[in-house]
Copies of this chain bind each other. A is one copy, B any other.
């Protein structure tokens, strides 16, 4: 019956854009990062023209592939526009000045796909002359630059480490709806959808759904986009971002939740150290300092410290951005930690579902990382009567929350959780000032493309 299976070998001939190339003895493609293993041998490279220089009879090409860059020296070749996809077959020679210490000497190159115009900015020089809006307008090609892509690689590694740490602790991954009938925290800042003529919204958070799923799997996580229709356009907000959500049942207090987040962050830092040293170096970024345990300090204490030590007066109930920065500095100096949990927020500073004590404080926390909040979390109310009381005491009506309340008729165990904003964490790790550059295709107040 094998006549039905398609032939796997096609006689060693590859056809690209009408041009037929005969495969030589050098069949397998080699990645740029592996050149050192092939000194003196002939290799086949594929990738993109990152930079090119023609010195008359000799041409220099920096080829970029998924593993990194390599220098190629050619003679008599016609070099295509930057970002063209090419294939080169040549000999690997030791060359101290070349990236990685080796270069490839080749006669010619095959164009796999020619760029028809150069990129709007010189990708290798982006940091010297970058206009952020231009970079975002042409993001579909500017993200090819080594530094921009490094940020996205760090994010991919970080997200995978998040999942690894939770799977190892018996958490189950969930996939909850992003089209919802109501907001989790009231009606503000929701994007509206036309759902077959009915009004629906984009989910601001998987809050209720992850709570429900505690009743199913006890310990759950989700990695998915969330949406905030916030008008403000700051360097730390996105209208669509990736939320790393966790929720677990049978907790005794918010300390159990912080324990899990601590383990998750520790694993993320470890994985970044193992897999992203090059990416961190591209930003001149140090691995986050992680001093064993993350300090847990009550909000009132944090406010006192900021005022007494730094003379910074804070309005409101929370920490303002400057206070977050100062307090993080304090923690770094005193504990050697880039992370700090600020705990025990007053009820007025937290949503209605936060578990509260009679002293008016909640079993909640924020996580500050290098001066910016990247997580909110805490224990949730699991008791229906307490939940109703919380709404009542805030002057909120049960209207619109009927579906939410219904769930709590079915024996929800004590539970809590947290969420990490993936782009904020990435940006903060790498020292990226504008969080847009920690997302492949950011959406903001004014930006809907690319």
In the complex, whether A283 has a CB less than 8 A from a CB of chain B is: no
Whether the Cβ atoms of B193 and A174 lie closer than 8 Å is: no
B residues near A191, Cβ cutoff 8 Å = 179, 193-195
Number of chain copies forming the complex = 2
Which residues of B are found within 8 Å of A192, using beta-carbon distances? Answer: 193-194
The reply to whether A113 and B413 form a contact with Cβ atoms under 8 Å apart is: yes
Among A202-222, those with CB < 8 Å from B are: 202, 209, 212-213, 215-219
Cross-interface CB contact of A231 among B81, B153, B196, B382, cutoff 8 Å: B196
Residues in A365-379 with C-beta less than 8 Å from chain B = none
Find chain B residues with CB under 8 A from A6 CB.
255, 296, 298, 343
**Which one, A54-62, A96-104, A140-148, A311-319, is touching chain B?**
A140-148
Known pairs A84-B411, A411-B113, A448-B179; A173 contacts B194 (CB<8 A): no
Cβ contacts under 8 Å, A163 to chain B:
160
* Closest B residue, CB atoms, query A211: B140
A396 within 8 A of B: no
Whether the pair B152, A174 counts as a contact (CB closer than 8 A) is yes
Nearest Cβ on chain B to A443's Cβ, whole angstroms: 5
- Quick check: which of A70-78, A128-136, A402-410, A429-437 contacts chain B, the rest being far away? A402-410
Instruction: Find chain B residues with CB under 8 A from A295 CB.
Output: 1, 4-5
In the complex, the answer to whether A216 meets B293 with C-beta atoms within 8 Å is: no
5 contacts between A and B (CB under 8 A): A80-B411, A85-B414, A117-B410, A141-B407, A179-B202
List the 9 shortest-distance A-B pairs measured between CB atoms, nearest first.
Answer: A85-B413, A115-B411, A84-B411, A6-B296, A66-B218, A156-B173, A83-B411, A83-B410, A116-B409
